[in-house]
Amino acid sequence: DVKVTQSSRYLVKRTGEKVFLECVQDMDHENMFWYRQDPGLGLRLIYFSYDVKMKEKGDIPEGYSVSREKKERFSLILESASTNQTSMYLCASSLPLTELFFGEGSRLTVL
Amino acid sequence: GQQLNQSPQSMFIQEGEDVSMNCTSSSIFNTWLWYKQEPGEGPVLLIALYKAGELTSNGRLTAQFGITRKDSFLNISASIPSDVGIYFCAGQGQGAQKLVFGQGTRLTINP
């Protein structure tokens, strides 16, 4: 089975802190994605990567950056967390042009 | 960013009832996907549709890829308590690495 593992299920951070959300997949997928999920807004794409060291902006990249140094790992970085970044963050991976497999999510609260 | 129009946004039904939800788009898609997200978890793929007009079943779930390639529906027959969750549709255009998601349908079942 495909497994996408997100490092933290729940985080509480303070405004201005730097936050790292880590995601690892074990199926050798080329593509990896970071989504944000908020009630009534569905899943919104923050960034995605289709290869090591490659990244592309999604629909809401402002305030976020990403890193993909290894194929299996895709990190989401909040350089200076703000309260409006309180949300559920979902990582996903896929082969090219195929369905996404999601991690369990990381619920971030910024105080 | 582009989003699909998914309806209804929420449903409150009695156990044993049938459920129907749909998604529409102004764009043509080559693939339609239906995901289910249970509380505190990431979305899990239920059904994938790859051909216009395709009707696919997965147990009590049935989904169809609209002939116009701009819509899809998901039906759940004889609902049971474990069907509770949020259902998302997602579309993928030709050659697109990204999915476009609907806003989700939150299903609540009264026993």
Do residue A42 and residue B95 have CB atoms under 8 angstroms apart? no
- Report pLDDT for A12: 97
Phi, psi of A84 (to 5 degrees): -75, 0
Task: Give the mean pLDDT of A44-68.
Answer: 95
- Report pLDDT for A13: 97
B92 to chain A: closest CA residue: A97
Residue A72 pLDDT > 90, yes or no? yes
Residue B83 pLDDT > 90, yes or no? yes
- Cα–Cα distances in angstroms (integers) from residue A108 to residues A75, A78, A93, B3, in the given order: 15, 11, 20, 24
Residues in B closer than 8 angstroms to A101, CB to CB, are: 45
- Cα–Cα distances in angstroms (integers) from residue B96 to residues A102, B20, B33, in the given order: 18, 28, 14
Spell out where B8-58 has E strands.
10-14, 19-24, 31-37, 44-49, 55-58
Task: Give the mean pLDDT of A45-73.
Answer: 95
* Tokens standing for residue B4: 């699909």
> Which residues lie across from B40 on neighbouring strands?
none
Q: Are B100 and A37 in contact (CB under 8 A)?
A: no
Q: How many CB atoms lie within 10 A of CB B94?
A: 9
Share of chain A above pLDDT 90, in %: 88
Q: What is the H or E stretch that residue B71 is in?
A: strand B71-76
Task: Tell me the per-residue pLDDT of B24-41, one tens digit each, with 9 for 90 and over.
Answer: 999 899 999 999 999 889
- Report pLDDT for A10: 95
Q: Which of B41, B88, B92 sits opposite A104 (nearest CB)?
A: B41
Q: Which of B35, B40, B103 sits opposite A41 (nearest CB)?
A: B103
